[in-house]
Structure 1
Amino acid sequence: MNVKKLFNMKNRVVIITGAAGLLGSQYADGLSQSGANVVLADVKYSECKKIEKELISKYGVSPLSIKLDLTNPKSIKSMVSKTLKKYSKIDVLINNAADQGNPKLRTTKFEDFPLSYWNKALSVNLTGVFLCCQEVGKVMVKQKRGVVINISSTYGLVAPDQRIYGKSGQNSAAFYSVTKSALLNLTRYLASYWQGKGIRVNTLSPGGVEKNQNSNFVKKYSEKTMLGRMAKKDEYVGAILFLSSDASSYMTGSNLVVDGGWTAW
């Protein structure tokens, strides 16, 4: 067994939705280091272009930036066709993009939460993933190979501990837990549906990342984890590389939890 080869992503084509975000950009960097050609798909196209230039300069890879609107089926179809036009294949799909909520609504009571935003969030966090899996799945079935990674969350597994939030402005709205938990069973369904077709489907459930939040919130959150801290933004790259590569070749229908021990108490 060649361990280095197990994690080698050279010339693999990886679509990352939400690639301009805090974690999406980290996934793109880590996979590019391992030789992958990443498709940077995000509504923030200009940010993707900046990341694209950095990846070319640092690693000599051939990334592609695409403006993606997950609420628009035509935009998703276009993403797939543009990817195939450049690379002629899709090896990995990482459904990373998510609406985490308008900051102005984070302290809104559940009873007062607007239906319009609930529907908007579901269209991105759940329906958008469904549509990406449909369109990319068609390609992977024809190829007879592929990997799909759905990004869930600690809050897809357990309810948010409302006691740590208070009026911090970091509150997690109900739609986030609902959509992230739904991805766990979408993963299982697709792993079962595509069994025997060379397609593996798994979930990554990360915990919270420290990013200049309220210090009191960070302290309370950290006390909920066994490691006593929030994650650093680059600490999920290893998990993504594992799930994307041949290192996880015997893994499908599973959920990889990386949350500092939050859910293991």
Structure 2
Amino acid sequence: MSRTILITGGSGKFGRVLVAHFLAAGDTVVTTCRSDQSRVSLQSEYSGIERDRFHVVQTDLTRANQAEELAAALRELRLAPDCLVNNARSVEYLALKENGRVSRSDFAGEFLMDVIVPYELTMELVEAQGSALRRIVNIGSIYGLVAANPSLYTDPVRQSPIHYGVAKAALTHLTKELAVRLAGRGIDVNCVAYGGVEGRVDEAFKARYGKLCPKGRMLREDEIAGPVAWLLSDNCSGMTGQTLAVDGGWSVW
């Protein structure tokens, strides 16, 4: 049975993989992006998909009231998502000062994208008239479960900013809180904490990563979508409030 799935951050590395997977599965997909360039790129990439099965909404979720505006856009499209994947983020907030410290604004910005935006969008969709929402997956990180290992990096302070992991840890707890608060509405809320994924690092980094991970390698892009697809399926209807570590065993030692 076809579902309607809202995936935020569809122009990013994870977002593109997830959009492609669920469109291929026959679902109707709505995704968000910040720039007009990203919107045009996404629409062009999937120009062969039936127009009523793929929609791109351009929105800046860092701005106030954007959850309400996104919900209004969904109403205009006459779509009520069954599933929500909170995936949007902004690398702009990972910048550090010259002394290696995080500015107050960047710390707040990372927390905004990883915690406040998922909360606001979730509640907006839950409380929308005619809501069909049943499953939510938050896209997290192993650094929300464990601290960064300095041995992985040549410059740990700058290559693994402290506020990224702190915000992802808060997202893990938000998942638990929402699972409890929304259980009575029949909504499951879970999180996937991913390990490092190939594609943006050099061979030296991959080699260091492999020595620190039981599987001996980073994740491949083709390993991203499966866990989310499972959490959005009826096969895990008894699971809520959990964070699934998809990390090649990174967090077990």
Q: Report the TM-score when normalising by structure 2.
A: 0.90
- Compute the displacement of 1:73 (Å): 2.9
Question: 2: CA distance between counterparts of 1:107 and 1:37?
Answer: 45
Shift of 1:51: 2.3
The alpha carbon displacement at 1:181 in A equals 0.6
The residue that corresponds to 1:136 in the other structure is 125
8 Å contact kept, 1:13–1:36: yes
Residues 153 and 205, structure 1, Cα contact 8 Å, conserved in 2:
yes
Moved more, 13-22 or 122-131: 122-131
- The answer as to 2:196 corresponding to 1:205 is no
When residues 218 and 97 of structure 1 are mapped into structure 2, their CA distance, relative to the original with a 3 A threshold, is: same
Paired position in structure 1 for 2:136: 148
**Partners of 2:202 and 2:160 in 1: CA distance:** 14
Structure 1 residue aligned with 2:63, among 65, 72, 79? 72
Instruction: Tell me how far apart the structure 2 counterparts of residues 168 and 177 of structure 1 sit (CA, whole Å).
Output: 13
1:46 and 2:37 are equivalent in the alignment: yes
Two-structure CA RMSD over aligned residues (Å):
2.3
CA distance in 1: counterparts of 2:164 and 2:99, whole angstroms: 14
What amino acid is the match of 1:126?
Answer: V
When residues 104 and 152 of structure 1 are mapped into structure 2, their CA distance, relative to the original with a 3 A threshold, is: closer
Please tell me whether residue 117 in structure 1 is matched to residue 110 in structure 2. no
Conserved? CA contact 1:165–1:217, under 8 Å:
yes
> 1:108, CA displacement in angstroms?
5.5
Q: Counterpart of 1:57 in 2: which secondary structure?
A: coil
Deviations 1:45-70 (A, max 9, x none): 43233223433515776111111212
* Count of aligned pairs between the two proteins: 253
Query: Who is 1:225 aligned against?
Result: 213
Change (3 A) 1:129 1:108: farther
Matches within 5 A, 1:59-98: 62-98=53-89
SS at 2:53 equivalent = coil
Contact 2:96 2:158 in 1 (8 A): no
Q: Which one of 3, 28, 35 corresponds to residue 26 of structure 2?
A: 35
Q: Does 2:226 match 1:238?
A: yes
Structure 2, unaligned stretches of length 5 or more?
none
Q: Give the match for residue 115 of structure 2.
A: 126
Amino acid at match of 1:18: G
Question: How many percent identity over aligned positions?
Answer: 28
Distance in 2, matches of 1:108 and 1:213, equals 24
Instruction: Give ranges in structure 1 of 5+ residues lacking alignment.
Output: 1-7
SS in 2 for 1:64: strand
Q: 1:250 to 1:53 in 2, by over 3 A?
A: farther
| Distance in 2 separating the partners of 1:73 and 1:167 | 35
Is 1:163 the equivalent of 2:154? no
Contact 2:94 2:164 in 1 (8 A): no
TM-score scaled by length of structure 1: 0.86
Question: Is contact 1:92–1:147 with CA below 8 Å preserved after alignment?
Answer: yes
Give the drift of 1:134. 1.9
Deviation at 1:135, TM superposition (A): 1.0
- Kept in 2, the 8 Å contact 1:14–1:92? The answer is yes
